C-alpha cells in the first residue's frame, strides 16, 4: 500500500476523503487532469462500503444462493432426489474472494495514476487542513487547496437497539454471521431488507420480514411490487406490513421482537435494515464551516459544491440516489467541475433501479401510478418470460417485462422488469428510452431483428402486445 510522500510538504491540490465509488471517480478524474491528489481511507484496503459491506458482498451472496435454487429446482439435477444444501457462513467465502479481486483491481488504479493513498481516520482541523489518525495511533496533518468528501453511509442504528448483542445485526455486521440460524427476523423491507430476505429464504431459513410501510418497495410500479410480494409469499416468507418495533430484546440464544401493535415474534437472530446515515459525524465539519443534516448528509449544488467554496461532496453522503453507479458518475462530474470551474456532464434524469432480490427487479422511467396521476394516456405492452424460448431453455419461467408507452405518439414512458437477469435486460430498453424524439418509440422494438433465442426478445413480444391494444 502506498503512503503519501509529498516532495516538499504534506500539501496537495485536492484531498479526497473516502475511496468508495464516489471518491475513486473523483480521484481518477483529478489525477488524469494533472493535479496532485491524495485519497484518505480509514480501512486497510480501498473500495469503501460498496466493496466491503454493501453492493459486492450482498450480490455475491445472492448469486450463490440463486444458483443453489436453480440447481434444486431443475429435474435434470435432482432426478435422484439429490439436493444442494449450504449455510450462510459457508457461502460468505465466495463473497470474500470477490471482495479481494475488487480491492486489488482498485488499488491498481491508484498506483498506475500515481495517486497517494493515506490510511487512517480523517477529521478537519482547519479550513484547509486535515488530521489523519493511523491504526497505530499516530496523527499526521495534511493541507489541500480543495477537498472532496466521499465518506459514504452506514446502517442506521437506533440508540435503543443493542447492536453489541451477538444475535442483533445490521447489514454490515451480518457479514460476520458465524452461527447458522434456522429462523431470521428482518426489520425493514426496503431494498437491503428485501434482498437479504431472498438470500436467507433461498438457503431454507425461515424468514419474517417486517415492513414499516403499507406495501413492499412502494417506489416501484405497483405490479412489480405485487409480483415480489407474491413471490415472497409463495416461497414462504412471512411479511408483516405497517409495523413498528417497540423494543428488540436479545436473549441467550436469540431475539424477541416486540411490535407497537402488541405482537411478539421470536427468532434465532434479527437483521435491522431500516435506513442509513451519512458518515460525517467524525469529520469535525465545523472546523471547515459545514454542518450536516439530521441524517448526516450534506447539501450540494449542481457542481457538487457544498456551502463552503473549496469543499465538495459526492455519493451516499449527499443522499439520493445513493447508488454506487451514480456515485462513480458524481465523482467523475465533480472532478470536471473542480478542474474546469463548471461541470459539463450531469447525472441522467432517469437512473435505472436495480434490486437484487431473487428474482431481480429493475426499472427505468415512469410507473403506471405516476402516469395515471398525471393523466397521461398510456398503454401497456407485456411479455411473460414463460413464453420465451430462452427462458424455457434456462428454466426461468418466473418473470415478465412491461413497457409503458404513449398511446398516440408511441413514445416509451417507462420499462419495468421482474425476473432473473432483470438488471441486465433493462439496459436494452434504457438505451432506446434515452433517445430523443422519434428514436424513442415502440416502433424500434417492433422493427428490430433480435437474436433468437434471447431474453432481449421480450422487448419485441411486449411491443407487439402493446401495439395490439391500440385502436
> Does 41 appear as a known binding residue?
yes
> Does 153 appear as a known binding residue?
yes
> Does 316 appear as a known binding residue?
yes
> Does 48 appear as a known binding residue?
yes
> Does 43 appear as a known binding residue?
yes
Q: DSSP class of residue 441?
A: B
> Does 269 appear as a known binding residue?
no
> Does 49 appear as a known binding residue?
yes
Identify the CA nearest to 343 among candidates 317, 314, 385, 373.
314
Nearest 10 degrees: CA dihedral of 103, 105, 108, 110?
A: -60
Give Cα separations from 221 to 205, 218, 370 (angstroms).
29, 8, 9
> Does 192 appear as a known binding residue?
yes
> Does 306 appear as a known binding residue?
no
> Does 47 appear as a known binding residue?
yes
The gap from C-alpha 103 to its chain's centroid, in whole angstroms, comes to 18
> Does 314 appear as a known binding residue?
no
Residue 173 exposed, middle or buried by CB count within 10 Å (0-12, 13-18, 19+): middle
Neighbours of 325 (CB within 10 A): 15
Give Cα separations from 147 to 127, 142, 288 (angstroms).
10, 11, 10
The strand pairing partners of 141, in sequence order, are: 131
> Does 195 appear as a known binding residue?
yes
> Does 264 appear as a known binding residue?
no
> 108-111 — which CB contacts under 8 Å span 24+ positions?
109/24, 109/28, 110/2, 110/19, 110/27, 110/39, 110/46, 111/2
> Does 333 appear as a known binding residue?
no
> Does 365 appear as a known binding residue?
no
> Does 191 appear as a known binding residue?
yes
> Does 46 appear as a known binding residue?
yes
> Does 439 appear as a known binding residue?
no
> Does 190 appear as a known binding residue?
yes
Contacts of 159 (CB under 8 A, 6+ apart): none
Binding-site positions for FAD: 41-50, 59, 151-153, 316
Annotated binding site: 41-50, 59, 151-153, 188-195, 275, 316
Residue list, annotated binding site for NAD(+): 188-195, 275
Amino acid at each position: 500500500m502506498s503512503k503519501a510522500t509529498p516532495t516538499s510538504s504534506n500539501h496537495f491540490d485536492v484531498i479526497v476523503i473516502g475511496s468508495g465509488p464516489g471518491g475513486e471517480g473523483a480521484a481518477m478524474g483529478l489525477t488524469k487532469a494533472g493535479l496532485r491528489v491524495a485519497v484518505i481511507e480509514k480501512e486497510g484496503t480501498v473500495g469503501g462500503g460498496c466493496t466491503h459491506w454493501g453492493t459486492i458482498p450482498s450480490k455475491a451472496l445472492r448469486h450463490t444462493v440463486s444458483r443453489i435454487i436453480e440447481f434444486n429446482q431443475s429435474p435434470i439435477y435432482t432426478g435422484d432426489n439429490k439436493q444442494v444444501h449450504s449455510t450462510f457462513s459457508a457461502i460468505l467465502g465466495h463473497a470474500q474472494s470477490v471482495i479481494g479481486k475488487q480491492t486489488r483491481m482498485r488499488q491498481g488504479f491508484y498506483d498506475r495514476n500515481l495517486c497517494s493513498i493515506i490510511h487512517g481516520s480523517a477529521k478537519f482541523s482547519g479550513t484547509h487542513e486535515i488530521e489523519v489518525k493511523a491504526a497505530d495511533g499516530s496523527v499526521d496533518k495534511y493541507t489541500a487547496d480543495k477537498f472532496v468528501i466521499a465518506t459514504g453511509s452506514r446502517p442506521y442504528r437506533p440508540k435503543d437497539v443493542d447492536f453489541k448483542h451477538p444475535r442483533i445485526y445490521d447489514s454490515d455486521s451480518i457479514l460476520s454471521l458465524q452461527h447458522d440460524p434456522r429462523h431470521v427476523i428482518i426489520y425493514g423491507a426496503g431494498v437491503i431488507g428485501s434482498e437479504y430476505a431472498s438470500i436467507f429464504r433461498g438457503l431454507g431459513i425461515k424468514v419474517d420480514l417486517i415492513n414499516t410501510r403499507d406495501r413492499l418497495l412502494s417506489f416501484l410500479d405497483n405490479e412489480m411490487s405485487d409480483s415480489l410480494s407474491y413471490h415472497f409469499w409463495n416461497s414462504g416468507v412471512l411479511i408483516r406490513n405497517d409495523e413498528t418495533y417497540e423494543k428488540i430484546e436479545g436473549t441467550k440464544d436469540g431475539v424477541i421482537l416486540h411490535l407497537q401493535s402488541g405482537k411478539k415474534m421470536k427468532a434465532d437472530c434479527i437483521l435491522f435494515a431500516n435506513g442509513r446515515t451519512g458518515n460525517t459525524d467524525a469529520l469535525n465539519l465545523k472546523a471547515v464551516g459545514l454542518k450536516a443534516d439530521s441524517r448526516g448528509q450534506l447539501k450540494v449544488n449542481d457542481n457538487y459544491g457544498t456551502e463552503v467554496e473549496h469543499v465538495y461532496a459526492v455519493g451516499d453522503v449527499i443522499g439520493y440516489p445513493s447508488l454506487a453507479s451514480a456515485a462513480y458518475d458524481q465523482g467523475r462530474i465533480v472532478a470536471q467541475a473542480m478542474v474546469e470551474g463548471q461541470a459539463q456532464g450531469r447525472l441522467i434524469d432517469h437512473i435505472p433501479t436495480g434490486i437484487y432480490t431473487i428474482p431481480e427487479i429493475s426499472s427505468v422511467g415512469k410507473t403506471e401510478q405516476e402516469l395515471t396521476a398525471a393523466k397521461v394516456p398510456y398503454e401497456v405492452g407485456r411479455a411473460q418470460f414463460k413464453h420465451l424460448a430462452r427462458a424455457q431453455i434456462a428454466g426461468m419461467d418466473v418473470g415478465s417485462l412491461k413497457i409503458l408507452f404513449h398511446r398516440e405518439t408511441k413514445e416509451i414512458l417507462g420499462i419495468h422488469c421482474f425476473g432473473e437477469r432483470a438488471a441486465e435486460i433493462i439496459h436494452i430498453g434504457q438505451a432506446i428510452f434515452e433517445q430523443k424524439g422519434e428514436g424513442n418509440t415502440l416502433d424500434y422494438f417492433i422493427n428490430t431483428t433480435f437474436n433468437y433465442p434471447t431474453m432481449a426478445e421480450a422487448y419485441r413480444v411486449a411491443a407487439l402486445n402493446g401495439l395490439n391494444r391500440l385502436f
